[in-house]
Chains A and B, each alone.
Chain A
Amino acid sequence: MSDIETKSNDPVYVTETLIAEDIDAYLEQHQHKTMLRFITCGSVDDGKSTLIGRLLYDSKMIFEDQLDALTADSKKVGTQGAEIDFALLVDGLAAEREQGITIDVAYRFFNTEKRKFIVADCPGHEQYTRNMVTGASTADLAVILIDARKGVLVQTRRHSYLCHLIGIKNLVLAVNKMDLVDYSQEVFDKIVADYAEFAKSIGIESFTAMPISGFKGDNITGPSDNTPWYKGPNLIEHLETVEVLSSVDVDKPFRLPVQWVNRPNLDFRGFSGLISTGSVKPGDAIRVLPSGKTSTVTRVVTLDGDLDEAVAGQSVTVCFADEIDCSRGDVIATADNPPEAADQFESTIVWLNDEPLHVGRAYWLKLGTQTVSVTVREPKYTVNVNTMEQMAAKTLELNAIGVAELSTDKPLVFEAYADNRTLGGFILIDKITNATVAAGMINFSLRRAQNVHWQAVDISRDAHAGLKNQKPAVLWFTGLSGSGKSTIANLVEKKLHRMNRHTFLLDGDNVRHGLNKDLGFTEADRIENIRRVGEVAKLMTDAGLIVITAFISPFKAEREMVRAMLPEGEFLEVFIDTPLSVAEERDVKGLYKKARAGDLKNFTGIDSPYEAPAKPEIRIDTTKVTPDEAANLIVDALLGDA
């Protein structure tokens, strides 16, 4: 204990006396505290972990047993000689303890009299940009550490740029290790001037600079005698008074992304979610996006009783006066100022995965409670985070930051990230590995998404269908190779043709000879294969046709993607249900034999999965009916439906 230098001036947040003398008063005080989330960024030697250790220590968040362990560890692996190495308190995982560096985001907690703080400790290494962006995404404020001996470094610029990119408005420039430069005002002023010039160049409007020593405790909790020339706030004082994000969000228009529909019985129907901006109270006129339907809020329901008003940051359940459609992914907004929906955007993307961006590949995009399929175009440019230069790029690699256009398979309800983090921030998910591969921020929607993208034609799809005297549909056959899809599909088309229906059969093998001859059989290519077939089938239904497709289409996600492209009721999933053993025994094309011998890779059912439909519109058990009987069942189901 004696090795630690503690400041004689009373830290502003030691509340032990109150706790001991009047616990009820203390609890009352604690109950009314607000919360500030901040991140600390700096490079390895800037003393970041030491500063956090200091904050925890000064706010009595280090317990005696931890301190004992710390003292022992400090002697064993510490970098501070015989003195307590606060960094060891913060560096958690075994791997990084060995390496002596912080490799991931760690969250720490401490309290003062006014606030609870959550600190995201972010690593300074270049290859861990993703961790910093992660930590910054939930932060109200960033503390950027600079070693007073070294001044503004490349890392400083990178960290500041990333914080600015994520939209952190409150930046603290903590010039650390002032004790090692004799608390020189000259050194401090020079660093602040350098930083100000840089900050201005990337659009940072303001920042608060302070001279500190995490190790010695200067200007952390009170004014330091060592820096009489510094008149600004100390670190804790600043952290206690700066405005938090959620209070800013309250003054924006009301937005509630719907997470879950609460329907315990026929008498209650509520919509649950976290209010992203604004406030809501009974009587408010609301609009549900993207449908645009309007109603009035009747109740804001909680277990503790109905609320008169709820604000940004609260999780609530609201009820409407009218029975309008509203489900997960919809956004409830104030009726006279709703957000837009669009399907093409320009956005800034931070790539977080070892596997680089595949331009044109479909990823999942999750924004708020909406999940859609998206493709990313070739980046317009990437940003060199060290020099802030824009560079040409064909793709985005791990830790790259770029600007690119996106197009989604259906409209997204959105706002620019600068206006609303929830409706403007998204993640991209690899459809095959399910990894979170990127984080993105919507800058704006592209006009052509709304106007030029879909040419309005005078002869409508209804007109096309009307002339043919039929209702367009897609009969989407799915099943294992050799299950009988093509055979039955053929019979179905023949029967429909005889009944004067205008049909077209898209067969898997045939399409691969032409439209999709550039695609192989990897999972990614299979996904693209199905996407293209889906788009073609959609165009054909616009022309009024009944489209029959016969593809293995093994992945549920892609079948659902095609279903989502079409008007409700026009996609009929026909599951040709033949057990693998039966299909393999038939082996009409000899493919199973090849696959078993290892001559054919990625063969569905053998070394590539088949995801059977859970609720197909039509299920044919080929072990029970003949192909002809099957075709009759399908035709009946289709026309009975028409």
Chain B
Amino acid sequence: MTIISPTRLTHLQRLEAEAIHIMREVVAEAERPVMLYSVGKDSAVMLHLARKAFYPSPPPFPLLHVDTTWKFQEMYKLRDRMATESGMELLVYQNPEAAERGINPFDHGALHTDMWKTEGLKQALDKYGFDAAFGGARRDEEKSRAKERIFSFRTASHGWDPKNQRPELWNLYNARKNKGESIRVFPISNWTELDVWQYIHLNDIPIVPLYFAAKRPTVERDGMLLMVDDDRFPLKPGEVPVERSIRFRTLGCYPLTGAVESEAKTLPEVIQETLLTTTSERQGRAIDKDAGGAGMEVKKQQGYF
């Protein structure tokens, strides 16, 4: 019924162009941008987009990994490899207070995330004086994210005020900050989990092998399937790691990230499984369950990314 131009762009081309546009705006207007790099699949896409945005220059900002010391071994490996390949500076920050107090996910529960991630991130941003930080959050992940702006402002103490967000019109972003404020920028806000997978597939982007199914040592706790990634995993009396064919839909600290039993060994198989599955992605993470229905919103107001 309508004539569509033969030169029309696909949805992925439009999403890519939007993300690149956002990254260039930040680089043009911010004084000291940084890219948060968590080594997950969203970070992988973000890094690839950054390389595209500034090619043939390397992306003109460093990568920042806020490390909890409890990530999967495979994540540390890929992190170091990608930093080298992209020619970008990699900054790794570990909250010294959390290290000193021996905060860990087994003994400290929610405090672990708060100290290592939330506090660690705030400290790192303050230490280096970054005024804009790219993050790979998507609006389809969680309800409060659905209403967050692409340029999301944080107070000097890193708080988020959902009721006082700047309107974002067209593709115009107001990057002007008040003293002490910083910006979290989410270039892939409008991507879905499927878009991310498809983009990785089309562009052959390296991701952590844990996304693919393999035999791995696991224990089952509180309905979550945990992987025994190193010997810091305290086994309860009678608990014996069981080899299961598992993979991860999302990657965080290994003691907090639930695996799914799977035989999906290739990217199309993973996508297939993702599409046919009936539980949402973030469900594998313990964080969203805290604080009732508004868990993430409260965390964000406190400074969580």
Inter-subunit contact B24/A73 (CB<8 Å): no
A619 at the interface (CB under 8 A from B): no
Stretch from A307-315, A473-481, A519-527, A559-567 contacting the other chain? A307-315
Q: How would residues 55 to 88 of chain A score, 1 for a CB under 8 Å from any chain B CB and 0 otherwise?
A: 0000000011110010001000000000000000
A32→B165 CA distance, assembly (Å): 34
A118 at the interface (CB under 8 A from B): yes
**In the complex with contacts A19-B275, A427-B174, A264-B57 CB distance below 8 A:** yes
Inter-subunit contact A31/B202 (CB<8 Å): yes
**In the complex with contacts A93-B162, A315-B20, A434-B178, A34-B8 CB distance below 8 A:** yes
A107: chain B residues within 8 A (beta carbon): 139, 146-147, 189-190
Residues 137 to 153 of chain B near chain A (Cβ within 8 Å): 139-140, 143-144, 146-147
B74 at the interface (CB under 8 A from A): no
* Residue in chain A with minimal CB distance to B151: A436
Choice from B28, B171, B176 contacting A274 with Cβ under 8 Å: B171
A27 at the interface (CB under 8 A from B): yes
Q: How would residues 360 to 383 of chain A score, 1 for a CB under 8 Å from any chain B CB and 0 otherwise?
A: 000010111100000000000000
B202: chain A residues within 8 A (beta carbon): 31
B165: chain A residues within 8 A (beta carbon): 104
Stretch from A190-198, A241-249, A482-490, A633-641 contacting the other chain? A241-249
**Total interface residues in chain A, CB < 8 Å:** 90
Inter-subunit contact B55/A302 (CB<8 Å): yes
Residues 11 to 42 of chain A near chain B (Cβ within 8 Å): 16, 19-20, 23-24, 26-27, 30-35
A538 at the interface (CB under 8 A from B): no
A329→B39 CA distance, assembly (Å): 35
Inter-subunit contact B293/A422 (CB<8 Å): no
Inter-subunit contact A243/B51 (CB<8 Å): no
B195: chain A residues within 8 A (beta carbon): 116
Inter-subunit contact B167/A352 (CB<8 Å): yes
A133 at the interface (CB under 8 A from B): yes
A579→B167 CA distance, assembly (Å): 40
Inter-subunit contact B278/A63 (CB<8 Å): yes
A381→B177 CA distance, assembly (Å): 32
A63: chain B residues within 8 A (beta carbon): 277-280, 283
Residues 233 to 274 of chain B near chain A (Cβ within 8 Å): 268-269, 271-272
Inter-subunit contact B201/A27 (CB<8 Å): yes
Stretch from A142-150, A255-263, A451-459, A541-549 contacting the other chain? A255-263
A309→B225 CA distance, assembly (Å): 50
Within the complex, the shortest CB–CB distance from B8 to chain A, in Å, comes to 5
A366→B175 CA distance, assembly (Å): 11
B54 at the interface (CB under 8 A from A): yes
* Residue in chain B with minimal CB distance to A432: B178
Inter-subunit contact B7/A311 (CB<8 Å): yes
B192: chain A residues within 8 A (beta carbon): 109, 111, 116
A282→B146 CA distance, assembly (Å): 40
Within the complex, the shortest CB–CB distance from A438 to chain B, in Å, comes to 9
**In the complex with contacts A63-B279, A262-B57, A303-B52, A106-B147 CB distance below 8 A:** yes
A426 at the interface (CB under 8 A from B): yes
* Residue in chain A with minimal CB distance to B268: A23
A421→B293 CA distance, assembly (Å): 39
A295 at the interface (CB under 8 A from B): no
Inter-subunit contact A94/B297 (CB<8 Å): yes
A340: chain B residues within 8 A (beta carbon): none
A179→B18 CA distance, assembly (Å): 40
A266→B218 CA distance, assembly (Å): 54
Inter-subunit contact A314/B139 (CB<8 Å): no
Inter-subunit contact B172/A426 (CB<8 Å): yes
Q: How would residues 82 to 111 of chain A score, 1 for a CB under 8 Å from any chain B CB and 0 otherwise?
A: 000000000011110100000111111101
* Residue in chain B with minimal CB distance to A110: B192
Report the contact-size class of chain B (Cβ under 8 Å from the partner): 35 or more
Residues 15 to 29 of chain B near chain A (Cβ within 8 Å): 15-18, 20-21, 24-25, 27-28
A64: chain B residues within 8 A (beta carbon): 278-279
A255→B1 CA distance, assembly (Å): 29
A270→B140 CA distance, assembly (Å): 35
Inter-subunit contact A314/B13 (CB<8 Å): yes
**In the complex with contacts A65-B280, A93-B162, A425-B293 CB distance below 8 A:** no
B275: chain A residues within 8 A (beta carbon): 16, 19, 26
A131→B178 CA distance, assembly (Å): 23
A20→B273 CA distance, assembly (Å): 9
Inter-subunit contact B12/A244 (CB<8 Å): no
**In the complex with contacts A34-B11, A115-B11, A352-B167, A262-B54 CB distance below 8 A:** yes
* Residue in chain A with minimal CB distance to B58: A264
Within the complex, the shortest CB–CB distance from A38 to chain B, in Å, comes to 13
* Residue in chain A with minimal CB distance to B153: A434
Choice from A23, A138, A242, A433 contacting B2 with Cβ under 8 Å: A242
A429→B3 CA distance, assembly (Å): 39
A622→B123 CA distance, assembly (Å): 37
A225→B162 CA distance, assembly (Å): 43
B residues at A contact (CB < 8 Å): 1-5, 7-18, 20-21, 24-25, 27-28, 51-58, 139-140, 143-144, 146-147, 162-163, 165-172, 174, 176-179, 189-190, 192, 194-195, 198, 201-202, 268-269, 271-272, 275-280, 283, 293-294, 297-298
A residues at B contact (CB < 8 Å): 16, 19-20, 23-24, 26-27, 30-35, 63-66, 69, 73, 92-95, 97, 103-109, 111, 115-116, 118, 130-131, 133-134, 137-138, 241-244, 246-248, 250-251, 259-260, 262-264, 268, 270, 272-274, 279, 301-304, 309, 311, 313-315, 317, 328, 352, 364, 366-369, 421-422, 425-427, 429, 433-436, 439, 609
Known contacts A30-B198, A315-B21, then 20 further A-B pairs from the complex at CB < 8 Å, ordered by chain A residue: A27-B201, A32-B10, A35-B15, A64-B279, A95-B163, A104-B162, A104-B165, A247-B4, A247-B5, A248-B5, A251-B5, A262-B56, A303-B55, A313-B13, A314-B17, A315-B53, A368-B172, A421-B170, A433-B178, A434-B176
A-B residue pairs in contact (CB < 8 Å), sample of 9 = A34-B4, A107-B190, A138-B169, A250-B5, A262-B54, A264-B56, A315-B18, A369-B28, A429-B174
Query: Which 9 pairs of residues, A with B, have the shortest CB-CB distance?
Result: A35-B11, A92-B143, A315-B20, A63-B280, A94-B294, A64-B278, A264-B57, A116-B11, A23-B272
